[in-house]
Structure 1
Amino acid sequence: MSVDAPAAPVTAAGGDTGLVAAADRLRLLAALHAPAADTGRALSREVTEAIREAGFARHFVAARFGGSEGTFAELTDAVVSVGQGCAASAWCASLAAYSARFASHLPEEGHQALWGASPDTVVATGLMPAGRARAVDGGWKVTGRWSYVSGIDFADWVMLCAAVPGGEGPPRLRFFTLPRGTYTVQETWDSVGMRATGSHTVVVDDVLVPAHLSFDRADMLSGRNATSGVPAHNVPFQAVGGLTFIAPVVGAALGALTACAGSVTGRRRNETAELTVVRASGRIDAARALVGQNAEVLDGRLFTPEHMARNERNATYAAESLREAVTLLVGAAGTGGLGEEHALQRFWRDITSAASHVALQYDTAARKNYSAVLLGPAE
């Protein structure tokens, strides 16, 4: 049994950027390198260059810099495709695209710094606030440590969120963008799954960041982008609803389904195993449909509180369903599916690790907002 890759979608502008076709080729390469990437805890240079060449980093970059100005639906299909071969490769590909979208909130001079020479600049992002910054002449001095910065090993720049003390009330939060060479990386990523994402710790020690390489976090949250008229650059953060992180997991689950189907043969094939695989496939298809719905909301610019809260619910529910699905698949495959050389056990570990991301948890990402949609505001 094999799972067909998604067909190439048509972008909102009426043209296919070619990302899905490139992703289908990348899927094969990533699958070939996946066992070594897992044991070596890093993507090969061949795969990271292929991620760049496929067009993930340029997908949301403005056309005036040679970028694709692509849609969320096309990116989602491409990430799902890569995930069928290697979840870690899909995770890094997804973040390369979404990090460029975040960086679009920089002032115009910042755009020139990142993409003036090439639209394929790879940006890694530390979304969680850490460290601190202080205003100085010409910009900011930044210091701190940021954990879980995926893809930092092959990024050209890193974008980090830090607090700016001053005045009454809580500190303001800003993003600061630093080129490779101005920060150090500590290899701290030791998760049992998604080993090859290189989600290490970035350390910055009193580095000057020019004003044009910083922006207020509130701009990203609201989706207001005064420096760009590209539709994908003007999207509320809540509306994305975990799409960045759940699309690779959908792909990994499809990969797990294919791997399991190859194991359920001979004595392993019986009514119980067949029913288990069918049940798992239903959960995967349901999750895939919900993730596709999220992309439709973004491309359709349906930024109502109801749609945005549903996107959060969709991503978290999909993560739950995919965890359940891969557990069923491991049970159907039996002991053989857990062998060191079997792809199923790698997908199982990757899905378990990826689904633990804070953006895919009901309590932190979906409960409050969607319960208000269903039940009204809490009294």
Structure 2
Amino acid sequence: MSAIAASLLHKAATLVPQLAEREAATSQARRVSADTIAAYRDAGLLRVMQPRRFGGFQESFGLFARIVETLAEGCAASAWVYAVLAEHQWIIASMSLRAQEDVWADTPEAVASSSLGPRETARRATGGWRLSGRFPFSSGCHNAQWAILAARTEDAAGPTRVRYMLVPMTDIEIIDDWQVLGLRGTGSCSLRVEDAFIPDHRTVLLHDLNQGTTPGATVLPEYALLRAPRGFLVPFSLPNVLLALARRALTLVPAVQRTRLSRGVTAVAASEVMQMRLGEASAMIDAATTLMHTHRSKAVEMVEAGLPIAAIDVARARRDVSLIAQLVRQGVEMLAETAGSQHVYDVDPLQALLRDVQTIATHIVVARQPAMVPYGRLLLGLPTAESL
């Protein structure tokens, strides 16, 4: 690890206590505070993957992933928003130089939220596209200056294709609809766009992102990340929050059970059933953590070494992260079952951890069918559809 990387990781660790102190308020506010974003900026964390030519560190995806996992030790929602805003610097850097200048030339610390499910179709216009519609799940939108919106497009170049479109937040209305089970502090509201014009240079084809053949890869040939298939690394982004949540639950539950008395008489810790459940839950969480760290590191090493990345490698990454999420959810839910009825109270810290884990488990990047089917199809010699 470089001295810069070590310094950034250390700065992330120093923020954990203040994130933990703000966690309840962040959940209540249903968004990450300006103070937290300012702390990220002061520490340089949002610029980990931003190109050097715009003042960024152009650092490793592996460093970014470790920072996400570290911040989640303090506040899951704050870490989730960090993961979104910092990782989207990769997408912006994948666009044309002109698009990067639009975002960073006057505001080098600008960041973008997103809505990456292509629910709307953009209409061709002279020099660009016209886009209208509603775009949900835009985590960190209150903290962003831009949004990356996925849309289906169709032109003379071929059939309907998906493009990521960079839209300034001044052209967007935030709809306050984020009343949810978990990750309440992420502010993942829907965005409404009415006939916004997006010039061609502020778009990038999802196909090119997944092939590592974007305009940004030409602009910054020395930046290995921009030549990597997006689908190979992006599964290792947001799910890092799960690992920290699981470790927090694994610390919390045994500490309570050591002194707990069943009906005020029997020591719960003496029960072999309790001991077995804790052993099984910890095994699931440890297995998930080892799998994530091992495969995440291997993927980063392949990208940075410039090794060829095949479709089966991309499918395996998402398959593995889906399994990791399943193991974490099972482990944390077993811990909650072991803890008994206490976690039904809103003030119990385990309840918040459980809600966050269950909410993350609904995210498309860890969904079982979209993760497992492509790998199965490749094993059978069948083609797969483009995703992520």
Tell me if both proteins adopt one fold, taking TM over 0.5 as the criterion.
yes
* One-letter amino acid of the structure 1 residue matched with residue 251 of structure 2: T
Equivalent in the alignment of 1:205: 194
Name the counterpart of 2:348. Answer: 342
Identical aligned residues as a percent:
25
2:176 corresponds to which of 187, 190, 200: 187
Q: Among residues 121, 124, 127, which one is paired with 1:135 in the alignment?
A: 124
Equivalent in 219, 222, 226 of residue 227 of structure 1: 219
- Partner of residue 7, structure 1: none
After TM superposition, give the deviation of residue 192 of structure 1 in Å. Answer: 0.4
Deviation per CA, 1:306-358, whole angstroms, max 9, x where unpaired?
43222112100000000011111112222223332222110100000001111
Letter of the 1:105 counterpart: S
Structure having the larger proportion of residues in helix: 2
Partner of 1:315: 321
Q: Closer, same or farther in 2 for the Cα pair 1:55/1:290, shift >3 Å?
A: farther
Q: Paired residue for 2:232, among 222, 225, 239? A: 239
Match of 2:337 among 325, 331, 336: 331
Q: State the TM-score, normalizing by the size of structure 1.
A: 0.89
Partners in 2 of 1:352 and 1:331 — Cα distance? 14
Q: CA deviation at 1:200?
A: 0.9
Contact 1:110 1:212 in 2 (8 A): yes
Q: Which residue of 1 aligns with 2:151?
A: 162
Alignment partners' CA distance in 1, 2:25 and 2:355: 15
The residue matched to 1:61 in structure 2 has which SS?
coil
Structure-2 change in CA distance of 1:338 and 1:119 (3 Å): farther
Q: Which moved more, 1:314-323 or 1:225-234?
A: 225-234
- TM-score, length-scaled by structure 2: 0.87
Q: Is 2:267 the partner of 1:278? A: no
Give 1:48 deviation, angstroms: 2.7
- In structure 2, the CA distance between the partners of 1:168 and 1:15, relative to structure 1 (3 Å rule), is closer
Compute the RMSD of aligned alpha carbons: 2.2
Give, in whole Å, the separation in 2 of the partners of 1:241 and 1:168: 27
State whether residues 143 and 206 of structure 1, in contact with CA within 8 Å, keep that contact through their aligned partners in structure 2.
Answer: yes
Partner-residue secondary structure (3-state), 2:162:
strand
> Following TM superposition, by how much is the alpha carbon of 1:376 offset from its aligned partner in structure 2, in angstroms?
4.0
Which of 36, 59, 76 does residue 65 from structure 2 map onto?
Answer: 76
Moved more, 19-28 or 114-123: 114-123
Contact 1:241 1:315 in 2 (8 A): no
Higher RCO (CA 8 Å, separation ≥ 6 residues): 1
Letter in 1 for 2:279: V
Equivalent runs, 1:8-157 vs 2, <5 Å: 10-11=1-2, 16=5, 18-157=7-146
Shift, 1:119, TM fit: 4.0
1:155 CA drift (Å): 0.8
The 8 Å contact of residues 240 and 294 in structure 1, kept in 2 or not, is answered as no
Q: 1:189 to 1:215 in 2, by over 3 A?
A: same
Give, in whole Å, the separation in 2 of the partners of 1:283 and 1:119.
42
- One-letter code of the match for 2:324? A
Out of 298, 301, 309, which is 1:299 matched to?
301
Q: Does the Cα contact within 8 Å between 1:56 and 1:94 map onto a contact in 2?
A: no
CA contact (8 A) 1:94 1:245 kept: yes
> Structure 2: which amino acid aligns with 1:220?
L
Which deviations, in whole Å up to 9, do the C-alpha atoms of 1:36-95 show, x marking residues without a partner? 222332222222322333333211111121111111221121111111221111111111
Structure 1: stretches of 5+ with no match in the other structure: 1-9
C-alpha distance in structure 1 between counterparts of 2:133 and 2:160, whole Å: 15
CA distance in 2, matches of 1:248, 1:33: 17
- Structure 1 residue 378: Cα displacement: 5.3
Call closer, same or farther: CA 1:290–1:72 in 2, change over 3 Å: farther
Read off the aligned partner of 1:203 and give its amino acid letter: R
Contact 1:81 1:251 in 2 (8 A): yes
8 Å CA contact 2:32, 2:140 repeated in 1: no
